[in-house]
Structures are given as structure tokens and as C-alpha cells.
């Protein structure tokens, strides 16, 4: 559908909502009203709300990234012994310190390291690791013990405990599926692959039904009075409480959807296209995130992912291509945020569901493993290497995998406490030691 | 419980019964059930054994499981060949599971035993296992057939069958549980999620029950249940205060002797079919019925569907439709055929419900968890794909359209076993082009949904569509909004087919339509 049609439809929506044509400022007026209602309902806005609050960008490397070939232990003889074909020679690596270097494809990431914007945390995992993609991703996303099943995600528990009164746009995921990390008692978060699909379609201006259809849509879905009332009784946005009428809940969600859809698409349409990004989906997604941050969307958490890391066969070329895309995209994103003046507000946290087996396999690849490094990127962190690489000695391995040295929930707890300024205990159920990685 | 009387028997209540005990019905189907009266209608729905069975499953389910690759081949193969064999096996099972999904959707839509399918879906969510881990379409079908066979019979038989079900034995690691190293995963979930609820057993009970289930495993060749006596712990166990050389069946009997079991299941059933947080009196009565009938479910279901509470304002239009209910229910009220099976799977999955792949052992959370800001708009847009087709299909699925890699997985129906990767990609592209063209043709038939005689006036058209789509009275403000909508339109006698489609889509794109 063309932009003109959309404009026409929006004017229909407006006339449906307030009974007459108004100027283009209406959606923001409506948004402001919503914010006021939310704020009134929750008592006061939280300190970190709005345009100056901290932002977390979660970047998921899906498929299980080979940690040993990402942060290469190039003085470790055992590494080259068990990786005769895949081991990365020292001379090709980007030096981090005397013992470790980044994979040759990670030039972009290394530049961030040199600029003091990258922290590498080694040996991250969890007890009794699970080698199934699905299950291990679930453990990372729900931050559960590996033998417990949790319905809600760690970000979802952050919504439930720290985002009362925020609208759904407090978190945005660029993808086809809402990550389990977002699942909550009061679900929030918006997921879309293409922001243009995050809207109501099917009103064609050529049809004689268009105006009436837009009017009905507005009457049924932009029910300000009722939605406001139910917000008042609920004490803030979010899911349905035990006592709330399901119809009130649906009407409130419909209004939230319309407001955030208008906001997000408006920002993405009017924002200047940032430059310096490579091609590819990850770069495009990060570009969209940059535009939403620049546009002042009050989103606290963005979720993006890059897939393809399940490198069982012929890993060398495939892994290099992935790392180049990852490093260059992240590099462009950080530089872009710096130019915007927003870098100090933003922390990027990079994880994968597991690392890979220490020994390479017979197909020039690696099989599912356990502990691996995580990355943090941002303006306000203690750059360099953190944590310790687990021993590669055969007797120290667990079923051929690295033994974790640091529970990933310590990294979550650190990001929650030191960056998002939310006590992690509510979110992670128990305390985890904090790391000296954020300033 | 007070039973609903003949004088309270209205078309709207019959519609409610059919929505909850099945996936809804057309005005004609509601009328037919209404004619049977409350006793007759509930008997008809619950005692479905005499009614004709539904659609036959896809042919692969009747063929023996191909041992692909078989173990000797596996042993002799090098690593490269082994990977190729595994890839083939994955592709084959992925195509089959997609066939199975398409078949189940169609069976839900057409079965003359709606409650049988609704219960099968209920048990699938209750005893959740996922193809994601089980990886065999045959085993997932076997479980589906087992749920259907035991859907309304004895709950004890059902729990025993579930405990021996290859999908469950694989999903919760029972197949690997042996005397020397009992795995507690199944024993824990059996009590916590399936029968009793937390707080009604101890950690010791879990450990002892796990011992009793050791040696219950899956025959690798036939993929059926097998007891492996060598791996079974035949010693004395102490479980819930009783001691003996128990095995799994004994444990299940002891669990069902626990007073909490009947209450736990009564709450589960009531919440699925009627409403959440039921009054304690209702649960006490249902649980008593369950116990006095030795866990036979039919008397419980009848008592539930005949109770006044089931038809009260707490129940009527207070349930948020699951994606499957939304999809199949929409096809029922629109009297439309099933769209492309891959599209159905994709629609339900993108709204949060993938058949044979519940998110975890707790199944689908349901209720308000079905709805988020993004997927509410997505529901509205998918309704447009069903009733309007054409440009909406392009808009909903974006420029790249259907058949991107994630979506393609759900659309694949044929395993394409003897092709190389390039051929597979080419074949899939061609196939998707063809199916995209078909999907652009919406399944709704305007004449069926709004017959000529209903287009006499705005009022008749509004009433006709409101009844068809909502099957109940709406709030005065909703009716006023619909009246305004129809007043803004030209008279219905002038409507083109596209206008009818637009009107139906507008009425489905409302919060009200998401309720049942």
C-alpha cells in the first residue's frame, strides 16, 4: 500500500477517533495522553524513563557460535593439537593481549576493542549444560537452572518487576518470532520483521468501503475512554490482571498497538538513513534500531539476532563470513551511536546458546558444545578481556566440552544492576556476583 | 450443580457450547444442535462413539517406519555420509509433520465429533511434548492417535498410556532412565504438571516414583513401548506412605488415590472449557463426580456442559481464542474450506501456537498470553488473508512474500528425497510460486456468508453478520458502532463481493472477535 493511502487511512482513523479532521499531530497527542494515563496510573514515572534512559541491545548469535575460533587462545598448544584443520594461526589474529586474539574476520570488532568500546567475557556458560539448540536457548532466555522449566523469560520478568506503566514499546524485537525471553505475566514488547508489516492492512482507498471500514476500526480499536479507565484500575499497562475484563484488556492492547505502530513507523519514516553500515540483515536491523534510538522512542530493550552459526561441516569459510558480518555491523552501529551522542546510554550484549566441541570433527566442522565468550559493547564499560578461558586439557573437559567458569546470569545481573539500574534479584530469582565490567 | 433448563436453552447458549466443546459452527449447525434440547445436545457431543469418525490420517502414518538410516548403514558410513543420512531423515520427518498439521486442522474443521478433536488438543497441551525434541512424525502421530482414543474415557488409562508413550518417553528422558541412574524428569512433571500440582508430594516421592518407572523405554526398531526388565529397579519403594515393589502402573494408581488429583484435573478441565478461577463448590462437585466414576471423564464432561455455571456471564464470551480456535472457528463461521495447509500452520505459528511443538513441558500458557500488541494487529491482518486475499497477502507477508527460509520449513509437504540441494531449492521456489497464487484467492465465499436475502436492508445485513460472526448479543456501544458502520456504507443490495469481504474483515478486526 502506498504512503498516500496510509495517510488517507490515518486521517480516517483520526476522524473516527475524535469525530473530525485534525492535523497530523494527533497520533503524538494520543501517545502523550496514553503516557499521561500510564504515568498517572503508576504514580510517577520511573527515573530512567524516556529519552535519556539506558538502553540494552541484546544480540543473539543463533546456532551456537564457536567461541574458541572467535577469541583464539593462540599460545595454547592443546588448541592447535585438537584443531589441526580449523585452528586459526596466531599471525592471522587481531591481537587482544599476549595470549588471545580475535578471529581474522573480526576486524570491526577489534577496532571497537582499540577504541575502548568492547569487553570480552570468557568462559561463560551454566551448570549441567544441554546440547540441544532449543533447550539451551530456552535456558539462556528464561535464565533458568538447566533442569527447571520456566514459562517466563528473564526480560519478561524485568517487564513484570520494573516496567509497570510502560507501554508495549518498552521492548522491540526485530524478527519473525517473539523471543521466549519476552514471555511475562504482563507481556510487553513488539516483534516485527519489517516495520511496514506492523500495522493494520486491508483498507484500500479505491473501495467504497474504505472510509466506513476505517471508521469502524477506530470505533472498535481506538477506545480511548474505556482503555483509560481500565489503565486506571490496573495501575499501568501490561497484560490482563486476574480481575480485568478480557474485553477491556483487548481494547487496551488494540489502542497500545495503534499508538506504538504509529510511533515506530513514523520515526523510521522520518529518520535520516545512517551511513557506514555494510549490507546484510543484521546491519539493516541494527540500522533500524539506531533510527529508533535517534528518534527518541522510549524503548529500553532491543532484541536482534544473526543466525547460521551451527557449523557442523566446512566451518572455515562459513564461520569467517558470519564473523565479518557480525563485526562490521556492530562496528558501524557503535560508531553511528557515537555520532548521535547516544553511545553512553547503550549497551550491546552478545551471546550464543552454546559454544562448540573443543575438538574439530571429521567434516571440517565442530559439534555442539558448552561454555563460550560473551561480548559487551558500548560507551560505558571497562574494555578488554574479562573472565578466564576454561582449561583445554582433555582431563579437564566435560564430555569433550569446556567447563564454564562464569554463570551467564552473572552477566545478566551485571547488565541489569549497573546498566539498566534494576536490581537483578527480582529478575533472576537469586543473587549472582556482579562483574567489574561496566563503569 | 444446577442444570440448565429447557427454558434457558437459547441459540446463543448452544453457540457457546459448540464454541467451547468444539470449534464453533455455522448458523445451520447451531440450529441443528439447538433442536436436540440441552440433554440431547450434550449427549450428542459427549457420547460421540456412535458418530462417524473424522478424516483419515495421511498415508505415511499407515506405512512402517522406514529405518532411515538403518543402524548397520550408520555403522558402516563415514561421518560425511552419516550427516547426509541424518539430513535426509530430518527432511522426511519435517515434510510428514507438516502433512500431519494440515490433516489435523482439516479434521478439526470437519469432524462430526468436535469434542473429540477439542479434547485431543487439550491433552496435547496438557501432556505437552514437542516434535522439536522427539524428531519423529510417526511417534508424534502415534501420540495424537493415543490422545484421541483416550480423550473422554478413563483418565487413569490415559495417564498410563502417556507414561508409555514413545513421544513422552523421549521428551522427558524416561527412555534413558535405568536402575543405575534413574532420571527424575518424568516422575517430577507427572506429579507437578500432569496430575497433582505442586505441594502434594515430596522430593522423596519423586525419587521413588522415578525408580518405579525405570526400564520403561522405546523399542528402537518398532518405535513402540517396551519394558526392559534388566534396567528396571524391582526393589521396594516407599511412595506416599505406601511400600511395595511398585512399578509405573502402581505409582499412577497411588497418585490417583490422592485427593488432590481429581480436584487438580477438575480445575484444568473447567479452566479450559469454561473460565479461570472457578468457584470451589464447582470444583468439589466435579471432583466428586470424577472419583465416584473412577476417573471416567464422560460423566464429568456432561455435568460440566449441563451446568448453569457453564452458561453464566462468567463463561460467555470471556475466553480469548487460541490461534487454532481463531483459525478453525473462523473457517467454521465463514463456512470456508481449509486454506493451504502450510499457510494454516504458518498463521497459527506466527500467532504463537505451532501444533506438535508446544513451547515447553507446560504447554501453551493461554488466556491473555495469546495477545500482544504486535500479534493482535497480525490477527487482524491474517483475517484479511482469509476473507480478502489479493493485495493483503502481499502486504501481510512483505515484498519477499511467502516461502522465506523460516516459513518454507512449515510449507514443505513433500520430502523430495532423491534430489540434491540445488534441485530442492528450485523445486521449492516453483512450488511456492504456485501456492502463492492459490493463497491470493481468499477462501471466503461472499454468497455463503451473506446470502442475497440477508441484503434486504442495512439492518438485516448487520444482524445476519453479527450473528454469524459473534453468535451473541454485544454491548450496546458495540452494536451502535456496527450500526454507524453500516450507515456509512451504501445499502447492502449495492454491495459487490469485494465490499462484502471488506465488511466481514472489518468486523473480524475488532477486540470483540478475539473472544469466544
Q: Which residue of B has its CA nearest to A211?
A: B488
Nearest Cα to Cα of residue A323 among A63, A106, A107, A102 = A106
CA–CA–CA angle A401, A406, A411 (5° rounding): 125
d(CA B506, CA B497): 14
Q: What pTM was estimated for this model as a whole?
A: 0.85
* A177 contacts B503? CB cut-off 8 A: no
pLDDT digits (tens, 9 = 90+) for A118-134: 999 999 999 999 988 88
CA A202 from centroid of its chain's CA atoms? 30
B368: chain A residues, CB-CB within 8 Å: 187, 239-240, 246, 249
Q: Is the dihedral of CA A414, A416, A422, A425 positive or negative?
A: negative
d(CA A167, CA A176): 21
Distance from CA of B506 to the nearest CA of A (A): 6
Q: Residue A69 in contact with residue A88, Cβ under 8 Å?
A: yes
> If you average pLDDT over residues A89-105, what whole number do you get?
97
Burial B200-232 (b: 16+ CB within 10 A, else e): bbeeebbebbbbbbbbbbbeeeebebbeeeebb
d(CA B211, CA B192): 17
Find all residues with CB under 8 Å of A43, minimum gap 6, and list them.
none
A251: chain B residues, CB-CB within 8 Å: 511
Phi, psi of A321 (to 5 degrees): -60, -45
d(CA B75, CA B78): 8
| Summary mean pLDDT of chain A | 83
Which band of pLDDT confidence, cut at 50, 70 and 90, is reported for residue B438?
confident
Q: What is the DSSP string of A371-390?
A: -EEEEEEESSB--EEEE-PP
Nearest by CB to B372, from A178, A210, A245: name it. Answer: A178
C-alpha cell at B33: 444442535
CA-to-CA dists, residue B459 to A58, B200, B220, B463, B483, angstroms: 53, 57, 64, 6, 8
> If you average pLDDT over residues B148-174, what whole number do you get?
97
Q: Residue A387 in contact with residue A404, Cβ under 8 Å?
A: no
User: Best interface-test mutation with A: which of B368, B400, B401, B466 has the largest number of A CBs within 10 A?
Assistant: B368
- Highest average pLDDT, of A140-149, A209-218, A225-234, comes from A140-149
Consecutive H or E run containing A43: none
Q: Residue A324 in contact with residue A77, Cβ under 8 Å?
A: no
Q: Residue A304 in contact with residue A57, Cβ under 8 Å?
A: yes
What confidence score (pLDDT) does residue A225 get?
Answer: 46
Which neighbouring-strand residues pair with B244?
A: B237
pLDDT digits (tens, 9 = 90+) for B260-271: 999 999 999 999
CA-to-CA dists, residue B19 to B25, B71, B129, angstroms: 7, 48, 26
pLDDT digits (tens, 9 = 90+) for B398-411: 666 665 666 778 88
> If you average pLDDT over residues A92-101, what whole number do you get?
97
Question: Residues of A numbered 72-131 whose beta carbons fall under 8 angstroms of chain B's beta carbons: which are they?
Answer: none
Q: How many CB atoms lie within 10 A of CB B258?
A: 16
Nearest by CB to A134, from B132, B277, B481: name it. Answer: B132
- Highest average pLDDT, of A6-15, A162-171, A251-260, A298-307, comes from A298-307
- HEC-encoded secondary structure of B66-79: CCCCCHHHHHHCCH
Nearest by CB to B505, from A187, A202, A313: name it. Answer: A202
Q: What is the DSSP letter of A122?
A: E
pLDDT digits (tens, 9 = 90+) for A33-56: 444 444 433 333 333 445 679 999
Which neighbouring-strand residues pair with A61?
A: A306, A352
C-alpha cell at A433: 556476583
Which band of pLDDT confidence, cut at 50, 70 and 90, is reported for residue B419?
confident
Q: Is the peptide bond before A269 cis (omega within 30 degrees of 0)?
A: no
CA-to-CA dists, residue B197 to B152, B202, B210, B294, angstroms: 21, 12, 17, 20
Question: Which of A201-215, A395-409, B477-491 comes out lowest in average pLDDT?
Answer: A201-215
A246: chain B residues, CB-CB within 8 Å: 318-320, 368, 515
B489: chain A residues, CB-CB within 8 Å: 208-209, 212
Amino acid at each position: 500500500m502506498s504512503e498516500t493511502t496510509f495517510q488517507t487511512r490515518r486521517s480516517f482513523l483520526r476522524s473516527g477517533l475524535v469525530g473530525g479532521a485534525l492535523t497530523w499531530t494527533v497520533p503524538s497527542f494520543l501517545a502523550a495522553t496514553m503516557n499521561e494515563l500510564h504515568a498517572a496510573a503508576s504514580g510517577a514515572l520511573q527515573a530512567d524513563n524516556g529519552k535519556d534512559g539506558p538502553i540494552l541491545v541484546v544480540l543473539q548469535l543463533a546456532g551456537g557460535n564457536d567461541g574458541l575460533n572467535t577469541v583464539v587462545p593462540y599460545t595454547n598448544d592443546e588448541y592447535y593439537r585438537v584443531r589441526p584443520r580449523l585452528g586459526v594461526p596466531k599471525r592471522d589474529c587481531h591481537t587482544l593481549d599476549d595470549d588471545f586474539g580475535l578471529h581474522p574476520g573480526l576486524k570491526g570488532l577489534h577496532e571497537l576493542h582499540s577504541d575502548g568500546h568492547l569487553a570480552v567475557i570468557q568462559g561463560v556458560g551454566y551448570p549441567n549444560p544441554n546440547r540441544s539448540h532449543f533447550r539451551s536457548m530456552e535456558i539462556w532466555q528464561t535464565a533458568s537452572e538447566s533442569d527447571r522449566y520456566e514459562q517466563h523469560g528473564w526480560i519478561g520478568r524485568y517487564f513484570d518487576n520494573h516496567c509497570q506503566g510502560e507501554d508495549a514499546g518498552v521492548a522491540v524485537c526485530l524478527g519473525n518470532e517473539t523471543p521466549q525471553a519476552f514471555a511475562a505475566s504482563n507481556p510487553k514488547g513488539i516483534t516485527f520483521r519489517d516495520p511496514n508489516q506492523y500495522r493494520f492492512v486491508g483498507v484500500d482507498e479505491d473501495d467504497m468501503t474504505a472510509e466506513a471500514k476505517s471508521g469502524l476500526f477506530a470505533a472498535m480499536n481506538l477506545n480511548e475512554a474505556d482503555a483509560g479507565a481500565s489503565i486506571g484500575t490496573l495501575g499501568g499497562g501490561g497484560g490482563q490482571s486476574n480481575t480485568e475484563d478480557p474485553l477491556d484488556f483487548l481494547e487496551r492492547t488494540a489502542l497500545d498497538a495503534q499508538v506504538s505502530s504509529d510511533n515506530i513507523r513514523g520515526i523510521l519514516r522520518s529518520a535520516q538513513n545512517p551511513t557506514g553500515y555494510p549490507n546484510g540483515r543484521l546491519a539493516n536491523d541494527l540500522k533500524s534500531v539506531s533510527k529508533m534510538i535517534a528518534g527518541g522512542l522510549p524503548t529500553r530493550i532491543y532484541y536482534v539476532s544473526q543466525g547460521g552459526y551451527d557449523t557442523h561441516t566446512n566451518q572455515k569459510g562459513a564461520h569467517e563470513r558470519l564473523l565479518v558480518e557480525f563485526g562490521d555491523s556492530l562496528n558501524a552501529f557503535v560508531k553511528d551511536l557515537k555520532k548521535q551522542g547516544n553511545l553512553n546510554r547503550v549497551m550491546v550484549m552478545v551471546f550464543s546458546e552454546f559454544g562448540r566441541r573443543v575438538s574439530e570433527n571429521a567434516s571440517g566442522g565442530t559439534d555442539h558444545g558448552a561454555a563460550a565468550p560473551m561480548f559487551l559493547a558500548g560507551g560505558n564499560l571497562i574494555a578488554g578481556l574479562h573472565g578466564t578461558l576454561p582449561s583445554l586439557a582433555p582431563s579437564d573437559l566435560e564430555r569433550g566440552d569446556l567447563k564454564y567458569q562464569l554463570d551467564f546470569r552473572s552477566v545478566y545481573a551485571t547488565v541489569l544492576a549497573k546498566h539498566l539500574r534494576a536490581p537483578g534479584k527480582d529478575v533472576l530469582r537469586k543473587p549472582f556476583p556482579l562483574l567489574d565490567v561496566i563503569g | 450443580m444446577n442444570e440448565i433448563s429447557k427454558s434457558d436453552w437459547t441459540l446463543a447458549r448452544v453457540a457457546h457450547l459448540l464454541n467451547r466443546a468444539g470449534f464453533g459452527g455455522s448458523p445451520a449447525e447451531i440450529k441443528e444442535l439447538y433442536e436436540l434440547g440441552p440433554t440431547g445436545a450434550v449427549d450428542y457431543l459427549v457420547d460421540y462413539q456412535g458418530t462417524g469418525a473424522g478424516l483419515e490420517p495421511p498415508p505415511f502414518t499407515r506405512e512402517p517406519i522406514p529405518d532411515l538410516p538403518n543402524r548397520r548403514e550408520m555403522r558402516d558410513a563415514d561421518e560425511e555420509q552419516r550427516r547426509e543420512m541424518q539430513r535426509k531423515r530430518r527432511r522426511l520427518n519435517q515434510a510428514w509433520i507438516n502433512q500431519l498439521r494440515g490433516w489435523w486442522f482439516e479434521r478439526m474443521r470437519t469432524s462430526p465429533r468436535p469434542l473429540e478433536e477439542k479434547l485431543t488438543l487439550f491433552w496435547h497441551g496438557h501432556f505437552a511434548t514437542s516434535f522439536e525434541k522427539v524428531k519423529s512424525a510417526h511417534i508424534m502421530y502415534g501420540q495424537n492417535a493415543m490422545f484421541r482414543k483416550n480423550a473422554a474415557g478413563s483418565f487413569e488409562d490415559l495417564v498410563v498410556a502417556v507414561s508409555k508413550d514413545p513421544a513422552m518417553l523421549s521428551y522427558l528422558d524416561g527412555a534413558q532412565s535405568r536402575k543405575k541412574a534413574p532420571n527424575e524428569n518424568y516422575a517430577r512433571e507427572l506429579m507437578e504438571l500432569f496430575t497433582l500440582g505442586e505441594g502434594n508430594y515430596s522430593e522423596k516421592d519423586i525419587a521413588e516414583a522415578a525408580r518405579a518407572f525405570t526400564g520403561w523405554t522405546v523399542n528402537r526398531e518398532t518405535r513402540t513401548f517396551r519394558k526392559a526388565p534388566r534396567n528396571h529397579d524391582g526393589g521396594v519403594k516407599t511412595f506416599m506412605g505406601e511400600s511395595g515393589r511398585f512399578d509405573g502402573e502402581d505409582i499412577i494408581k497411588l497418585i490417583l488415590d490422592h485427593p488432590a488429583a481429581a480436584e487438580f484435573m477438575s480445575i484444568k478441565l473447567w479452566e479450559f472449557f469454561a473460565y479461570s478461577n472457578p468457584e470451589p463448590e464447582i470444583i468439589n462437585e466435579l471432583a466428586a463426580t470424577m472419583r465416584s466414576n473412577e476417573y471416567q471423564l464422560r460423566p464429568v464432561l456432561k455435568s460440566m456442559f449441563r451446568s448453569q455455571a457453564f452458561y453464566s456471564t462468567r463463561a460467555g464470551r470471556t475466553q480469548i481464542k487460541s490461534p487454532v480456535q481463531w483459525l478453525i472457528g473462523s473457517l467454521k463461521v465463514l463456512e470456508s474450506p481449509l486454506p493451504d495447509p502450510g499457510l494454516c500452520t504458518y498463521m497459527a505459528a506466527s500467532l504463537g501456537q505451532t501444533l506438535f511443538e508446544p513451547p515447553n513441558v507446560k504447554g501453551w500458557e493461554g488466556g491473555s498470553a495469546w495477545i500482544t500488541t504486535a500479534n493482535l494487529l497480525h490477527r487482524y491482518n491474517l483475517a484479511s488473508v482469509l476473507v480478502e486475499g489479493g493485495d493483503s497477502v502481499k502486504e501481510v507477508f512483505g515484498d519477499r512474500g511467502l516461502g522465506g527460509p523460516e516459513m518454507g520449513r512449515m510449507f514443505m509437504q513433500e520430502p523430495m528425497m532423491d534430489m540434491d540441494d540445488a534441485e530442492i531449492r528450485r523445486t521449492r521456489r516453483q512450488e511456492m510460486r504456485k501456492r502463492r497464487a492459490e493463497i491470493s484467492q481468499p477462501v471466503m465465499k461472499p454468497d455463503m456468508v451473506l446470502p442475497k436475502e440477508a441484503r434486504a436492508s442495512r439492518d438485516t445485513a448487520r444482524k445476519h453478520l453479527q450473528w454469524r460472526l459473534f453468535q451473541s448479543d454485544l454491548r450496546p456501544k458495540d452494536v451502535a458502532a456496527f450500526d454507524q458502520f453500516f450507515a456509512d456504507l451504501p445499502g447492502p443490495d449495492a454491495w459487490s463481493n469485494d465490499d462484502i469481504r471488506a465488511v466481514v474483515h472489518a468486523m473480524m478486526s475488532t477486540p470483540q472477535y478475539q473472544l469466544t
